Amino acid sequence: MKWFVGALALLALACGEVSGPSTPVVRDGEGLLELPLVSTSAGRSYKLVGATFAITGPQNVTITDTSADSVSQPLMAGTYSIQMNGDWHVERTDAPGVTVPVTLVSPNPMTFTLGEGEARPVRFLFKVPEDGTANVGIGVDSGGWISGTLKFEPPSPPRDGPVGIFADLIGKSVPFVISYESATVTRIQENGPKQARIQTSPVTFQLGGAVPAKVMQQFVAALQGRTLDFVVTASGWGYSYVVNMPLENTEIGVRLDLRLQMLTVGADADGYPLLVPTPFQLGEAQLVSSGGAARASLYEGTFAPR
């Protein structure tokens, strides 16, 4: 069975219950969160059912009614955390009551920022075993992802420079996901082991937990829509490894480098690495921006190249 990315925009509601769509008034100092809960992909419509959401930040919001097809709500500008709770599941709208098997890959809770006058979609990403193409709301595509936890390490002078915007994250663990809708895979065999080169479409990069606003604005936002270009190498002993996974915005000098340790991926009949979802335990990351730099341990995640 092939696995595909599903991107479901999960955005805020006002406190209390909302039974239908409305046209909210956005006041000075506010932005607008919009939530489509139903979307069509490849001729099939999907809906998130039974979820509740807790939003904390400049305003604390509890979402208890997601029965409408779409909702929207003004919130004061700022940095928020949204957590999906409840006995949620995804259904096809032409088969109500029948659950579509999905895997949530986004951090939960997840951090987002909202600017004054901004309309902000906040997307929880799912993997669903369906064929399709990307769309709004719940989107279905044939992409891959890498997810896990970043544990930020204290700097080691003189090797490391000032941590700057990452200072409040030192010593903390932050869940993350990088997801992409499609990729070009090229098989390589020169003088060494067999390799697969992965060149992705634009990525979605998400962090969870309490992340400072400056990190979201100066680092995370700068890497949205960028691409990954990395190589998976077969070791010949039932393992594969990735030398480096760089995600960067060269125009403004922002970069995230991920390095995984040996992966038990295996090889196909021709000896090339199998590109299948694979758990990993350890790795490392380096985060660089004009506002500072940090190092982090990478652990307990999933590497799913496609």
We report the CATH number of the domain holding residue 70 as 2.60.40
Q: Model confidence over 14-73: pLDDT tens digits?
A: 333 434 445 678 899 999 887 777 766 667 777 888 888 888 999 998 877 778 877 777
Q: Model confidence over 251-306: pLDDT tens digits?
A: 999 999 999 876 777 778 888 888 888 888 889 999 999 999 999 999 889 998 87
Structural domain span for residue 240: 145-304
For the chain, first and last CA: distance in Å? 14
Domain shared by 186 and 132, yes or no:
no
Mean pLDDT (whole number) for 239-247: 83
Domain shared by 151 and 136, yes or no:
no
HSE-CB for 100 with a 13 A CA cutoff = 26
Domain shared by 149 and 136, yes or no:
no
Angle at 137 (CA atoms; ends 133, 140), nearest 5 degrees: 25
Domain shared by 21 and 163, yes or no:
no
Cis peptide bond upstream of 158, omega within 30: yes
Single residue among 122, 141, 160 that ends a domain in this structure: 141
pLDDT at 241 over 80: no
Cα distance between residue 237 and residue 216, in whole Å: 40
Domain shared by 125 and 160, yes or no:
no
Mean pLDDT (whole number) for 8-14: 36
pLDDT at 1 over 50: no
Domain shared by 173 and 261, yes or no:
yes
Tokens read off for 55? 């939003």
Single residue among 141, 175, 190 that ends a domain in this structure: 141
CA–centroid distance for 126 within its chain: 9
| Confidence (pLDDT) at 129 | 61
Domain shared by 176 and 124, yes or no:
no
Tokens read off for 97? 């009551």
Domain shared by 84 and 212, yes or no:
no
Single residue among 141, 175, 210 that ends a domain in this structure: 141
Domain shared by 249 and 112, yes or no:
no
131 compared with 157, residue with greater pLDDT: 157
Rounded percentage of the chain residues whose pLDDT exceeds 70: 83
Tokens read off for 11? 């955005």
Q: Place 11 in a pLDDT band, splitting at 50, 70 and 90.
A: very low
Domain shared by 55 and 157, yes or no:
no
**Which of 60-69, 81-90, 175-184, 240-249 has the lowest average pLDDT?**
60-69
Number of domains in the chain: 2
Domain shared by 186 and 229, yes or no:
yes
Mean pLDDT (whole number) for 223-230: 96
Look up the pTM and report it: 0.82
| Confidence (pLDDT) at 104 | 82
Q: Place 191 in a pLDDT band, splitting at 50, 70 and 90.
A: confident
Domain shared by 50 and 110, yes or no:
yes
